[in-house]
Structure 1
């Protein structure tokens, strides 16, 4: 990355590591000469990516499905997840569309209510979620479909507390880990969620269009969103009989997307996830927390509000302004080579492992200068 580029917008898209770029170039050439790879090549790519995704959430590879997007994963979960009539499905106010809209689309036909947990004034999303789950006299909760880190403001939700409260009521838990996987610890063996979904194009330093779905084993007997040959036990063109055994595979592989042979981007996704796993969630979180803390400290004297550290994820900082965010602020910073994002009236800052203290100080100086002017 050029030294004059101060890119603090990983929560939108991350750039690709050099190793990943080189793998992508080589893969494009490989696709141009498909006679050069053997019949087992695609499966090796699939299983490498599946294992890398499983490592990030402490799952077994057989519990991971290859999918194209978070929305696809939510739709897969919704197809097989029974929602009791008259019950509630909980979502977060202003959460990303992916874990929300599927339930709105199903609510009327399936006779359940989608309840939106309002943004807490004190920034404590965990307490707000728990209060909604535990509210006396409310209809039963069937499901909470929420992000572990709120995409717009970096609000952190304690998945362990929320999961425990849901289990006490026999409710299911779907976690959109888009803004958390690789940075915020997500251990499915300890949390026991029903579904965890995450893509690679943000914090996992990977390409767009690759995502992964963890499915708890109690749900692996469901019907996939798509019907594929490789989701069945023995439907192969190489066989003398094509439809030899049409029973589904016994694990999460039955839920793999159609056209999963992404020769170009599957390896790229694996590389980014493997790099993040090798560095370690704790080390990455510590580094990024240092940067966001440094940035937050720099804004104490310029009239900008920053959420308390205990309320926010270590890697996303959301700034609010007393009189609203000044017009043209994001665009103005971009003219100085500083890249951040406007999200729902806030300025979202999201550094990653390629950022350093110089980037943090440069942002503070530039933003403070613009606000004073």
Structure 2
């Protein structure tokens, strides 16, 4: 476990923030990087041609290292949002009558809408794999993963899933899903927005055809940033935008009107327009560098230790949660006791300056390395108050 890293953030001292899945609080280093970058723009002569490329390539390298595949940096594109990345992939998928896209029940909308549109336009099908039982039921997590594998067959064109469910943190065995995808020739498209940066992701073991991550959650960067890894299946695909920076020779500013039909190397063709943002990229770099300093495994271990205490205390109060083997330590759901609404629990917590979210009828708790025992105590106290059972104290 890491000790509490609260001093690296500027959170209000009386706030118990257990809501990183909603929006990451800004690291002091990320804030400083943004302020410094803004100041540079006071004098545009300080911005040279290399600045249009160096920070972008630094992000690619840091992200590839984060997912355990440093040699894959050239396959990383820069995108403004997870939805942009998913749409990029969807535009390069062939679907048709009898072919399906497999998704999970209650999956985040930006990883569903593009597939619904594609299926409607081509006569394909979106096949939704629902959870086999309510949160907390015995064998639910294992059963959901089994259902997912069973839904993948010879007619499956795309498996579009997250590593952990955004609403309740249920984990899925992506190595098994990836192996099944390769058996049937389907594309595996993973939304890592709610996992990469907090839960180890082994790119070389899972072997996704695409992995997209928004930057403003577990990557600790600002909104408007994100990353899209694309494997060989999509290497020669068509980008959403025909950007000048995506073309071969774009580093020669004096020859930009010597129009090139060839794209730049690797995944550069898929970069968003305006990717060379001199303010946002330094901020994302600062976040990724801090993650590398901590280690993603250490982040997960720290969060999981907090999660175990929280889940044990919540269960004693009548709340239900997924089994440890099938939940993430950094994001997990608590189903309130019968007769108590999740929003009522959230309001009781808010009265104690405890920040969480409610998603899909459960209380979504998402700790990070800035949390400490006082945050856990405050959370359990609010959970107890919502049930009318007084104040609980963390073990």
TM-score range, shorter chain: over 0.9
1:215 aligns with 2:225: no
* One of 332, 343, 359 as aligned partner of 1:343: 359
More strand by share: 1
1:100 aligns with 2:112: yes
TM (normalized to structure 1)?
0.94
Matched residue, 2:90: 78
1:203 aligns with 2:215: no
Work out whether residues 344 and 386 of structure 2, in 8 Å CA contact, stay in contact via their aligned partners in 1: no
What is the DSSP-based 3-state SS (H/G/I as helix, E as strand, rest coil) of the residue aligned with 1:190? helix
Shift of residue 372, structure 1, vs aligned partner: 1.3
* One of 113, 123, 130 as aligned partner of 2:149: 130
Matched residue, 1:53: 63
Task: Report Cα offsets for 1:190-230 as digits up to 9, x if no partner.
Answer: 22110000012111211111000000023211111100112
1:246 aligns with 2:261: yes
Shift of residue 150, structure 1, vs aligned partner: 0.4
Work out whether residues 204 and 273 of structure 1, in 8 Å CA contact, stay in contact via their aligned partners in 2: yes
What is the DSSP-based 3-state SS (H/G/I as helix, E as strand, rest coil) of the residue aligned with 1:204? coil
* One of 46, 50, 54 as aligned partner of 1:36: 46
Task: Report Cα offsets for 1:326-371 as digits up to 9, x if no partner.
Answer: 5533233223211001111100000001111221122112221232
For residues 144-163 of structure 1, what are the structure 2 equivalents within 5 Å?
A: 144-163=159-178
Q: Which moved more, 1:75-84 or 1:167-176?
A: 75-84
* One of 81, 99, 102 as aligned partner of 1:87: 99
What is the distance in 1 between the residues matched to 2:256 and 2:76?
A: 29
Change (3 A) 1:193 1:84: farther
What is the distance in 2 between the residues matched to 1:306 and 1:240?
A: 60
Unaligned runs of 5+ in 1: none
Matched residue, 2:6: none
TM (normalized to structure 2)?
0.89
Matched residue, 2:350: 334
What is the distance in 1 between the residues matched to 2:163 and 2:276?
A: 30
* One of 63, 66, 69 as aligned partner of 2:75: 63
Change (3 A) 1:225 1:267: same
Change (3 A) 1:18 1:236: closer
What is the distance in 1 between the residues matched to 2:348 and 2:52?
A: 45
Change (3 A) 1:16 1:254: same
1:367 aligns with 2:367: no
RMSD, matched Cα: 1.7
For residues 275-314 of structure 1, what are the structure 2 equivalents within 5 Å?
A: 275-314=290-329
Work out whether residues 75 and 231 of structure 2, in 8 Å CA contact, stay in contact via their aligned partners in 1: yes
Matched residue, 1:27: 37
Change (3 A) 1:170 1:197: same
Matched residue, 1:233: 248
Work out whether residues 146 and 174 of structure 1, in 8 Å CA contact, stay in contact via their aligned partners in 2: yes
Change (3 A) 1:278 1:294: same
What is the distance in 2 between the residues matched to 1:68 and 1:337?
A: 32
Unaligned runs of 5+ in 2: 1-10, 134-139, 390-395
Work out whether residues 342 and 358 of structure 2, in 8 Å CA contact, stay in contact via their aligned partners in 1: no
Work out whether residues 103 and 159 of structure 2, in 8 Å CA contact, stay in contact via their aligned partners in 1: yes
Task: Report Cα offsets for 1:93-123 as digits up to 9, x if no partner.
Answer: 1100111110101112212111111122123
Task: Report Cα offsets for 1:244-299 as digits up to 9, x if no partner.
Answer: 43211231111111111211111111111121122112111111000000101112
Work out whether residues 182 and 277 of structure 1, in 8 Å CA contact, stay in contact via their aligned partners in 2: no
Work out whether residues 341 and 347 of structure 1, in 8 Å CA contact, stay in contact via their aligned partners in 2: yes
What is the DSSP-based 3-state SS (H/G/I as helix, E as strand, rest coil) of the residue aligned with 1:32? coil
Shift of residue 34, structure 1, vs aligned partner: 2.0
User: Segments of 4+ in structure 1 off by > 4 A?
Assistant: none
What is the DSSP-based 3-state SS (H/G/I as helix, E as strand, rest coil) of the residue aligned with 2:188? strand
What is the DSSP-based 3-state SS (H/G/I as helix, E as strand, rest coil) of the residue aligned with 1:247? coil
Work out whether residues 352 and 378 of structure 2, in 8 Å CA contact, stay in contact via their aligned partners in 1: no
Shift of residue 82, structure 1, vs aligned partner: 2.0
